[in-house]
Structure 1
């Protein structure tokens, strides 16, 4: 029997990032950077559910699926509840300057189309941001248009199906490399409420006892089936099995799980 494997972890939430990362705001071009005496709003790397939009005094509640993701490269990915869109954003102090980019052209029901028009009108130009509790409000300079956002919580470690999307090789954070061609989407892992890790490493089914505390996950001996699979699937399985050996650390950010060993080798996975 192999020795138990220990994953020591720290879990960050979108809210914690917002409240603790002052001075780490994003910028797109020269507009980025702190305003005089005002730290940049720490929105980079955060995800939000759109709650409502107010345009010219008329408030519209958002449909399901409407949300924004502020990426770390000064871009935003959004969904109106029907169409997806992108934007560039520069942050200076509490002001976000938004330049809308392309939008998909899916036909929407009338109510969602109306909301989409209001959203795109409110989410452009110079907007003043205000953080409060788990919310972010973006308002036009004249105060006529307002966008109400609610921070999305991290996907829970336990009970979430995680799909491995990259391998990490060496270094403090690990250098990401693509999965073997043809093995994409084949490796999925779930830490169950029953105290077991289950799933597949790319080819064979896998199971192991998993003891979870506030900071660690201890894996017992890993058991697998014995199927013979294609080259890419077996290559991925071998790489992942090696990366589950020894002390591991994990980091959970929104819907991304990063698992690494002491040498920086490991994998990243996305919540289904």
Structure 2
């Protein structure tokens, strides 16, 4: 059963941990759908993100997550919850179908970078994200914020609010927190980005202001960062974080 909540728990490990930890397989990997016997909404694809005892998945609208384990060659998913971003009826129905398909315990076959899920007459073939879509570079793309993280919970950016960041090769970061323009500087270490002198304009904001507060909070000081395929994750020391998607590239200054 798919439970829809505005903030969805991401720490659902439970007893699944013993089946995931140290077992290799899909854990710690991201897979992107390449084909499916059930047609998807045009312009969408399925993304599966496996972590220790958990799986997160998207199919063009909400981010859905649940506890996960592999039992007898089948993927067993439970305690499923979803963000509550508004979707058109076709994508909303696709979210429901995907959650139901995964909760039904499809057979899982993994061969190198290729993963197949099959059950109930439906077959979905995936390839590992790093193969299908090499990691984007930090510098160049316009990174759009689509997910707000607060510790163990995650939620979508409200419809109509657009926050984005662009990093340049000369150490500058520019963009918008969702309402006001922002600018600052940054330096990169192996797994962290340190932001300095970040400032923004001071236009009054309503709903966008709540998003902007989180964006600016993450851009104060040092944040952990990770790029996986076209996704950037920024996480502040207190667990506040941002999920961003790479868009069009911005020309670097000459």
TM-score with structure 1 length normalisation? Answer: 0.50
Aligned with residue 241 of structure 1, among 204, 216, 224: 216
Aligned with residue 91 of structure 1, among 50, 53, 70: 70
Aligned to 2:221, what secondary structure does the other structure show? Answer: coil
Please give the per-residue CA displacement for 1:106-138, whole angstroms capped at 9, x wherever unaligned.
5xxxxxxxxxxxxxx9xx875251231x22245
Partner of 2:93: none
**5+ residue gaps, structure 1:** 1-25, 55-62, 99-103, 107-120, 169-173
User: What pairs up with 1:1-272 in 2 under 5 angstroms?
Assistant: 34=19, 39=23, 41-43=25-27, 47-52=30-35, 65-69=44-48, 77=57, 91-92=70-71, 94-96=73-75, 127-132=107-112, 134-138=113-117, 147-153=124-130, 156-158=137-139, 159-163=141-145, 165-166=147-148, 168=150, 174=151, 176=153, 185-193=161-169, 195-225=171-201, 227-234=202-209, 236-238=211-213, 240-252=215-227, 255=231, 257-261=233-237, 264-271=238-245
Larger-Rg structure = 1
Determine the C-alpha separation between the residues in 2 that align with 1:215 and 1:231.
34
Aligned to 1:185, what secondary structure does the other structure show? Answer: coil
Aligned-CA RMSD value: 5.5
Please give the per-residue CA displacement for 1:193-227, whole angstroms capped at 9, x wherever unaligned.
453211112332111233335444343422433x4
Q: Which has the higher contact order (CA 8 A, sep 6+)?
A: 1
Q: Are the counterparts in 2 of residues 183 and 202 from structure 1 also a CA contact under 8 Å?
A: no
Q: Are the counterparts in 1 of residues 175 and 182 from structure 2 also a CA contact under 8 Å?
A: yes
Q: Are the counterparts in 1 of residues 218 and 242 from structure 2 also a CA contact under 8 Å?
A: no
